[in-house]
Amino acid sequence: ELDPFPANFLWGAASAAYQIEGAWQADGKGPSIWDTFSKLPGKTYLGTNGDVAVDHYHRFREDIQLMAEMGLKTYRFSVAWSRVMPDGEGAVNEAGLAFYEELVDELRRYQIEPVLTLYHWDLPQALQDKYNGWEGRETIAAFKSYCRVLFERLGSKVTYWVTMNEQNVLTSLGYRWELHPPNVADTKRMFQANHHLNLANADAIALFHELVPTRKIGPSFGYGPMYPLRADPNDVLAAENGEAFNNSWWLDVYCKGKYPKVIWKQLEALGIAPQLLEGDLELLKRAKPDFLGINYYHGGTAAQNTLEKERIASQEKAFSGIDPYLMQPKDQQAQTPETVLFQSVENPYLEKTDWGWEIDPVGFRVALRRVSDRYDLPIFVTENGLGAIDLEKDGKVHDSYRIDYLAQHILEMQKAITDGVTVIGYCAWSFTDLLSWLNGYKKRYGFVYVDRDEEDEKELTRIKKDSYYWYQEVIQNNGLR
């Protein structure tokens, strides 16, 4: 017997500014690091970018109409910082701010609860140029000034706020693997930028609690539980190391205001620990989130990586795709925390998506239970979904594979709720099809198909997929039938 979903459960869908808005230079918007990066040769799939995306900036009313018709209870979107503050600090662009206010008003008109993400990776280019982006402490202050503008303007209209989206992913891909801006491969720089992001997160939360104490704020973290490959205690230990390195390194800071010791000591030994200034740890301790946003796609599997490195490398299939959780350091000889602590390997029990992502609904239940037990905060699932190649024919898209995927995950979430986890809401990724950062428009996630591909923007017509009607029923029934 499973517990029913709470009566006020927030069924929703999510997006991010750069992936849907387009209008990259409209109405005074300044460029972001994604506008720059996506135009560097060879960096994105067939050179695709978000200049037009799915033109949500001009079509948001049509999109919200589709959300309302679906019965969506909540919609998570992000604000493009450089639309609101073209230089990342200083002058506010009223037209940009007004766009988000209209968006929020339109959502509220249909009783759709807006969930506003403050930072979903599109740092103003001006801050990258001036302060070296997140590597400069000045960017923390700039972020705070941008947050203040939004808190003051929209604090009375938006209940749920997300500070940082997947800080783990943006730092790994941006500062370690040269796969995201600022296109850096330097672990030491990564940990320093990451520390500043932690401070920016804490600053924003502290300011929010002062200015809008009745609303809720928290980060969204890309969580994947780590499993040991075998019951060999060395693998179990490796999985614990992986859990600390991939997850607690961020979550402990957000929720407990401290860095996990096991990892900190490793970074110190390797000379790549971030530099802390006086007052940093106090700030991290003081600012506590009201809820934890969890983005779940899959977990990871670890094998021991100290004594028998060679043997393991020859026996297990080391992961070799683009995935921040599972990637191995390029230079296997290089001293990195993973080469000491654990080795990421493929999980022999799990199927994969077309893009090589493991499909693991049970891992979702594990994830929700672990995070809830450790941090004792309500959880908002801010992303979960399946990227696939969808085919449109005669105005229909039969995406039964997406329905299966989402149904399995929703069932596991319900089991986690029955286990005792508090989950406030669930946002599927994504509402409409949108730009996948590195995979262009080919990898689709939406309930609503958007007629465009990499070469051709076409009419950008919106078409409801089979999953749209299916999710509509899930919402109506407040759960699976």
Residue 344 phi/psi, 5-degree rounding, is -80, 130
Q: Kindly tell me which of 88 and 387 has the beta carbon lying closer to ligand BGP.
A: 387
Contact track, ligand BGP, 68-107, x by CB under 6 A: ----------------------------------------
Q: Kindly tell me which of 284 and 371 has the beta carbon lying closer to ligand BGP.
A: 371
Helix H, strand E, coil C: the string for the chain is: CCCCCCCCCEEEEECCHHHHCCCCCHHHCCCEHHHHHCCCCCCCHHHCCCCCCCCHHHHHHHHHHHHHHHCCCEEEEECCHHHHCCCCCCCCCHHHHHHHHHHHHHHHHCCCEEEEEEECCCCEHHHHHHHCHHHCCHHHHHHHHHHHHHHHHHCCCCCEEEEEECHHHHHHHHHCCCCCCCCCCCHHHHHHHHHHHHHHHHHHHHHHHHHCCCCEEEEEEECCCEEECCCCHHHHHHHHHHHHHHHHHHHHHHHHCCCCHHHHHHHHHHCCCCCCCCCHHHHHHHCCCCCEEEECCCCEEEECCCCCHHHHHHHCCECCCCCCCCCCCCCCCCCCHHHHHCEEECCCCCCECCCCCECCHHHHHHHHHHHHHHHCCCEEEEECCCCECCCEECCEECCHHHHHHHHHHHHHHHHHHHHCCCEEEEEEECCECCCECCCECCCECCCEEECCCCCCCCCCCEEECHHHHHHHHHHHHCCCC
Residue of minimal CB distance from ligand BGP? Answer: 436
Contact track, ligand BGP, 136-165, x by CB under 6 A: -----------------------------x
Alpha-carbon gap, residue 21 to 15, rounded angstroms: 10
Contact track, ligand BGP, 376-395, x by CB under 6 A: -------x---x--------
Q: Which listed residue (10, 16, 126, 417) binds ligand BGP by CB under 6 A?
A: 16
Q: How far is the CB of 213 from ligand BGP (least distance, A)?
A: 28
Q: How far is the CB of 103 from ligand BGP (least distance, A)?
A: 18
Is 169 a residue that touches ligand BGP (CB under 6 A)? yes
Alpha-carbon gap, residue 190 to 77, rounded angstroms: 26
Alpha-carbon gap, residue 275 to 43, rounded angstroms: 31
Q: Kindly tell me which of 264 and 355 has the beta carbon lying closer to ligand BGP.
A: 355
Q: How far is the CB of 53 from ligand BGP (least distance, A)?
A: 12
Is 289 a residue that touches ligand BGP (CB under 6 A)? no
Is 12 a residue that touches ligand BGP (CB under 6 A)? no
Q: Kindly tell me which of 167 and 266 has the beta carbon lying closer to ligand BGP.
A: 167
Set 21, 243, 358, 383: catalytic member: 383
Q: Which listed residue (166, 346, 390, 412) binds ligand BGP by CB under 6 A?
A: 166
Q: How far is the CB of 289 from ligand BGP (least distance, A)?
A: 17
Q: Kindly tell me which of 224 and 228 has the beta carbon lying closer to ligand BGP.
A: 224
Q: Which listed residue (22, 86, 219, 222) binds ligand BGP by CB under 6 A?
A: 222
Q: How far is the CB of 308 from ligand BGP (least distance, A)?
A: 32
Alpha-carbon gap, residue 481 to 478, rounded angstroms: 9
Q: At what angle do helices 138-154 and 94-109 cross, to 10 degrees?
A: 50
Contact track, ligand BGP, 405-444, x by CB under 6 A: ------------------------x------xxxx---x-
Q: Kindly tell me which of 168 and 241 has the beta carbon lying closer to ligand BGP.
A: 168
Q: How far apart are the first and last CA of the chain?
A: 13
- Binding residues with ligand BGP: total (CB under 6 A): 14
Q: How far is the CB of 254 from ligand BGP (least distance, A)?
A: 16
Q: Kindly tell me which of 46 and 91 has the beta carbon lying closer to ligand BGP.
A: 46
Alpha-carbon gap, residue 139 to 88, rounded angstroms: 8
210 noted as active-site residue: no
Q: Kindly tell me which of 174 and 387 has the beta carbon lying closer to ligand BGP.
A: 387
Q: How far is the CB of 434 from ligand BGP (least distance, A)?
A: 8
Q: How far is the CB of 299 from ligand BGP (least distance, A)?
A: 14
Q: Kindly tell me which of 407 and 438 has the beta carbon lying closer to ligand BGP.
A: 438
Q: How far is the CB of 322 from ligand BGP (least distance, A)?
A: 8
- Contact footprint for ligand BGP (CB under 6 A): 16, 165-166, 169, 222, 295, 383, 387, 429, 436-439, 443
Catalytic sites, residue numbers: 383
